[in-house]
Amino acid sequence: MAVRIVRTLAPADYERRGAVGLIVPGVGATVTRAAALASLERGEVVHALLGGTPHGKVLLRPANVDGTLLTFYVALPPPQRTPNHTRYGIAAVGCGLHGLLTSTSTRLPGLVSIADVAHAARHGTCRIAPLGTNADPHAASTLRSLDRRIVHVHDARGWALVGVLATVAVLALVGGPGVLACAAAVIASLILSAAGVESFWPLVLGVPLLTIAFAAAGLSRRLVPPLVVVALVVILVILVVDTRVNSLAVLGARPDGGGRFYGITNQLETLLLAPVLAAAAAGGLLWFAGVGALALVTVGWSHAGADGGGLLVYAIALGVLALHLRNIRLTPVRLALLGAATVAATLALVGLDAAFGGSSHVTHAVDTGPGSLLGDLGRRLHLSYLSVTSSWGKAVEFALGVGFIALVGLRFRRGPTVDAIVVGLVVSFLVNDTPVDVAFLGALGCWALVRWESVDSRAMRRAPAVLFASCAALLALAGCGSKGTTKAAPVTVVGTLAQAAPGKGIFNANGCNGCHTYAPASATGKIGPDLDKLASYAKGANQPLPKFTHESIVNPNAYVEKGYPKGVMPSFKQLPESDVNALVDFLTKPQG
C-alpha cells in the first residue's frame, strides 16, 4: 500500500480505476501545503489559529511508487497560505474499490478529512477504515454537485444568519414567536437543505421567511412546549437517519472549514438553548423532564453527532432552571454544587452512551482520562482567545454580544429562563471554542427570553401578517385593545379604560390577560390559575381576599395554587403601589 501526492487530481480521471472523493486539507480559515502534508503524514489536524501543523508521530511517508494492493492518490493545496474553502481530489485505486469514498469522521459520502488517509493506509491491507466506499456509477458527477453545493452554502451562510438575527429580534417583541423562531430557523434551514436548495437568494431569503411562517404557531404560548418538542424530534431524526441534510444546511455543520462535519454545532446549540429553556419552564414537571431529556439526547448522543461542550451547557442551564422553578435561591455555593453535579451527570451520560456502542470524540476524550479532558479544555480556551483576537471585526462582534448578555444579567428584571440562559452561556464560553457565535447568538437568545417573560401576550393572538410588519406596528397593535380600533387614538383608549376601571388597563398592559382567565377583562389565558375563582383560592390559603390578592401580585411564589409550578409568574413588585392597589380593586371589586 502506498500514498502518492499528485499535482492535480480530477475524480473523472480515476472513477473507472477506483473510488474517488474530495479531501478537506485542514481545519480553520486558512491552510498551507506544509501543514496539509504534516496532517497527511501524522493522521491528525491542528486548527489554523494554533499553527495548523501537527507535530505528533509520523504514521506514513508519501512515495512516488504505486502500492501492490492499494494506492491512495492525493492532491494538496499550493505552498502559500490560502483560504481553506477549496477541496482537493483523492482516489483509492486497487482492492476492487469503486464509487465514492466515505469516512466515519465526516459522515458525508464523497468528503474525506486529510487525517483519515494515514489511518486508512497504515493497515497495509484492503481494510481502509475509517474510510469506506459507496457504490455510485457516476461518482465524479456526484462529487461535482457536492462541491458546488458546499461552495454555494458557504457563500450564503453569513447573510442568511444576518437575516435570522434580524427576524428573531423583531419577532421577540411579541414574546412567543421570538422564542419559537430560534428553533424555527433551524427547521427552516433543514427543510431548504432537504429540498436541495443551494442558490444564494433562495437561501438568504428563504430561511427568514420560513422562520416567520413557522414561528406564527407561537402566537399561542401553550403551543410553544409541544412545538419545541416536535422541532427537537425532527432535528434528532435527521441527525441520526441522514446527517447530510444538516451538513449541507446553511445553518448546519461547516464541512468547508474542516472543523465540524456533522452533528449539532456550537451555533445550533446556542440558537436552540432559548426555546428549550422556555419549553421546559412553561409546561410543568412532565414537560420539563421530557424537553430536558430530549434536548440532552439531541446534543450529546454519539449517533446524532455528540457535542460534549453543548451537553454540559444544556445540563447546567436546565439545572439552574430547575432550582428556580423549585424557588431555591442561587448562591455561589449552590452554583458550585450544581456545577459538580452537572459534570458528574454528564460523564455518566457519556459513559452510558459508550456502553451502548456510542463512539465519538467525546467518548474518546472521556476514555483517555482527566488529563485529556483538561488538555482539551485548555486548548479550547486558547483557541477561543485566538478567535476573538484574530481581527477587529470579531473582537467587536464578541464585545457587543457579551456586553448585551452582561446587561441582561445585571440590569434587566430576570425570570427563571433568563437566569438559566445567562449561566449556560457563561459555561459555553469556557467549554466551547467559537466564542463569537456564542456571544451574538447567546445575546439573541437572552433577548428572546426577556421578551418571552415580560411581553403582553395579547399581541400573540393577532394575525401574523400584521404582527410581523414592523416593530412600531407590533407595539401599536399590542396597545389597541381587543375590539379592533380603526383609528389610532391611544390617549383616548387609555382614558376610557381609566374612567371605566383603572385596574383593567393595568391588568391588560402587564400581560395578565395572556396567562389568566378573568371574565371582567374578557381574558381567556390558560397558563395560570383562573382568576374568576380567586375568592376560593384566598379561602384555601386562609387569608382575606384583598390581602391574598396583593401578596399574589408582589410575591407570587408565597402561595401557589395546586397544579401550577412555582417560578412561572413574575413578581410585579416594581409596579407603583397605586397600580398594585388598582389591580387589587379590579380583581376583588371588578365594578371598579
Q: How many residues does the chain have?
A: 592
pLDDT, tens digit, 9 for 90 and up, residues 184-227? 999 999 999 999 999 999 999 999 999 999 998 877 778 889 99
Q: Give one DSSP letter per residue of 487-534, joined into a string.
A: S--HHHHHHHHHHH-HHHHHHHHTTHHHH-EEGGGTEE--SS--GGGH
Burial of residue 454, with CB atoms counted within 10 A of its CB: 0-12 exposed, 13-18 middle, 19 or more buried = middle
Please give the domain boundaries of the chain with CATH numbers for all domains. 2-137 (no CATH), 147-263 (no CATH), 271-454 (no CATH), 479-588 (1.10.760.10)
Per-residue pLDDT of the chain (592 residues; tens, 9 = 90+): 899 999 999 999 999 999 999 999 999 999 999 999 999 999 999 999 999 999 989 999 998 888 889 999 999 999 999 999 999 999 999 999 999 999 999 999 999 999 999 999 888 889 999 999 999 999 999 999 999 999 999 999 999 999 999 999 999 987 778 899 999 999 999 999 999 999 999 999 999 999 999 998 877 778 889 999 999 999 999 999 999 999 999 999 989 888 789 999 999 999 999 999 999 998 778 889 999 999 999 998 888 888 888 999 999 999 999 998 888 888 888 888 888 888 888 778 777 766 767 666 665 655 556 556 677 888 889 999 999 999 999 999 999 999 999 998 887 767 899 999 999 999 999 999 999 999 999 999 999 999 888 763 333 333 333 333 333 333 333 333 333 333 333 333 333 333 445 777 777 767 787 678 888 877 777 778 888 888 888 888 888 888 888 888 888 888 888 777 777 787 777 777 877 888 888 888 755 4
List Cα–Cα distances, 491 to 130, 481, 483, in angstroms: 70, 12, 16
Q: Write down the residue that cell numbers 417573560 correspond to.
A: 453
**CA-to-CA distance for 434 and 365, rounded, in angstroms?**
19
| Contact status, residue 543 vs residue 525, Cβ threshold 8 Å | no
**CA-to-CA distance for 8 and 151, rounded, in angstroms?**
19
Q: Report the half-sphere exposure of 398 (CA within 13 A, side-chain side).
A: 17
Model pLDDT, residue 271: 96
Please enumerate in sequence order all residues whose Cβ is within 8 A of that of 357, keeping only pairs 6 or more positions apart, or say none. none
**CA-to-CA distance for 466 and 177, rounded, in angstroms?**
13
130 upstream amide cis, omega within 30 of 0? yes
C-alpha cell at 525: 389565558
C-alpha cell at 573: 413588585
**CA-to-CA distance for 296 and 14, rounded, in angstroms?**
43
**CA-to-CA distance for 201 and 208, rounded, in angstroms?**
11
Strand 517-518 versus strand 70-75 pairing type: unpaired
Determine phi and psi for 30, rounding to 5 degrees.
-135, 165
H/E stretch holding 94: strand 88-94
Model pLDDT, residue 351: 75
